[in-house]
Amino acid sequence: MCGITGWVSFHHSALPHRPTLDAMTRTLTRRGPDAGGAWLDEHAALGHRRLAVLDLTGGAQPMTDRPDNPEVVLTYSGEVYNHHQLRAELARAGHEFRTRSDTEVVLRAYQQWGPACAEHLEGMYAFAIWDVRRARLVLIRDRLGVKPLYWAHIDGGIAFASEPKALFAHPEIEPRVDADGLRAAYGLLFDTGSTVWTGIREIEPGSILTLDRDGIREHHYWQLAVHPHPDNREATVQRVRELVEHAARSQLEADVPVCSLLSGGLDSTVVTAVLADELRLREGPDARIRSYAVDYTDQAESFTGDILRTGHDTPYAAEAGRFLGTDHDTVVLDPHALLDLDHRRAVVACRDSPIGVGDMDTSLYLLFGEIRKHSTVALSGEAADEVFGGYPWFHNPAALAADTFPWLLVTGDEAAMPLHPDLAATLRIGEYRTDTYRTALAAVPHLPGEDPTEHRLRELRHLSLTRWLRQLLHRKDRLSMAQGLEVRVPYCDHRLVEYAYNAPWSLHSFDGREKSLLRAAAGDTLAPHSVRHRPKNHYPATHHPDYNRGLQHLAREALDAHDGQVRALTDETVIKGCLDTPADQLPWGHRLRLERVVDLALWLDEYRPRITV
């Protein structure tokens, strides 16, 4: 896993601007702490920061097709899990390889198939290719959008990067935010394409952008499609198990230590079970994979349920670890560490955004930092809820009937950023949500003759996979890569996603609850009974009253920051109500409002953006 950046301009030579490329690349050092590289010619500048995972000595980048007078140059971030098969296929086609890395497989695949190489890749990736022969830049992003890739116009071309902060190191790009950016941030609709930053766009998942002298062109090489589901329940369960096992087993490969994130929920337990079994097959019956969970001091005593959490994770994670035979470790965090402004600044900086989930972001960042002391790669159960229908909105009649994005019913307006009334009148977020919802529904593919229930649940699954999931992947990528940790997500295997998306809802809920297919596929061998049958639980948050008191203090200070700019953006009356609530009675939604105010102040401090509305 790595960080990439660079630009192409047909108006100016890149050769005199090595310092600019170096500055852009330096901003991504935490994504790639092991090595850095740069390549420039008349029109193109490509930079790279490397986190070495495969072929530690041979995968240096940017990579060229040959040492002298190259015709193809690649800067690449990610992992291609079918690189062994592709290497064999490309070798049969006459290609010769200098390294063992999957990076070179991507480069040779481009030589063989051009931009259509994307259709041959299985994995998570974002990369840029400068085709010297054709004077063409090609940007490609993986199907589900696991790896980020941003771009912006410059004179005579475009600049690109794994993160917006790298683009801000280019002299033609500055951190600006307009009304559209604030809508994108605070509407909580998780658009792709547009971002909070004026003029900076994301390459959409499953998309290719090409730039040459004729201009810019974008197209999708993959999107969710519908087709009739051919299998009965028994065959579907068996196929789900095969796909999950294949995805997890193929993602174990690395030349560095690998571990698993084991929360004690069904999703992570199934992934960990497959990894533990595969490791024993490869290394012998005594091999044990390391697994990690997170907890907080006094959580067992202070835990109280809320809208997202019904129980304490740690006992389930420990039981799952014993059942699977892992070397399990629980990272216990002090709630006061979550209030440390240095930690919170680091989180806001790695997000490049004022929007997050407060203590849950900070704790995940700290968890990844502890894991990185022992492992370089971790596998996660992220995306199983979107793939297998695990969220409350799939099973709530109110969500099924609602004419809006389903997660807005769960989080509610009480968890939204309380915008200043004048700003709220300008942004008209309610209208923005309505218009965006109509556009999002129009993009959902359907089979002819679907009954109303199937029709609606396909819409909810599509919205979850193409919007809600993307912000979770964004969060996991940024917080893990900021610690130099690569997190892989087997449930984002596109074949598994496609198969589950086309299974009728009656199969997804055949046992009368969430994630029926995954639970049945797990059976008695991949997860203990207690884990298979516990209710859905979200990522843990601290419930300690001291955290709430400390957060209220930080929010009071934030309101006074930046010469009143925070006050000018927020509804002080609403925030005052949150501040006046006793810390031990602070509802989850009110706490999240305070988190957003604190993060806004830190974001303004980090980027000093020019805001115009």
The residues that are catalytic are 2
Question: Helix crossing, 429-442 with 179-186: angle to 10°?
Answer: 70
| Alpha helices per DSSP H over 325-463 | 341-351, 359-372, 384-388, 397-401, 407-411, 421-427, 429-442, 452-463
What is the distance in angstroms between the CA of the first residue and the CA of the last residue of the chain? Answer: 37
Q: Residue 81 in contact with residue 121, Cβ under 8 Å?
A: no
Largest Cα span, the chain: 71
The three-class DSSP label of residue 483 is coil
Q: Residue 593 in contact with residue 570, Cβ under 8 Å?
A: no
Both structure tokens of 72: 């193809």
Q: DSSP strand E in 99-205: where? A: 123-131, 136-141, 150-154, 157-161, 176-177, 200-202
Taking the CB of residue 34, how many other CB atoms lie within 10 A of it?
16
Distance of CA 554 to the CA centre of its chain: 28
Look-up of token digits 């307009």: 178
Alpha-carbon separation of residue 469 from 69, 198, 280 (angstroms): 42, 23, 32
User: Which residue type, as a one-letter code, is found at position 3?
Assistant: G
Q: Residue 601 in contact with residue 561, Cβ under 8 Å?
A: yes
Residue in 122, 139, 127, 145 with CA at minimum distance from that of residue 206 = 145
Q: Residue 384 in contact with residue 537, Cβ under 8 Å?
A: no
Q: Residue 101 in contact with residue 55, Cβ under 8 Å?
A: yes
Phi-psi region of 612 (alpha: psi -120 to 50; beta: other; left: phi over 0): beta
- DSSP assignment, residue 61? S
Residues in the chain: 613
Backbone angles phi, psi at 535, to 5 degrees: -65, 160
Both structure tokens of 315: 């006992």
Distance CA 383, CA 542 (A): 23
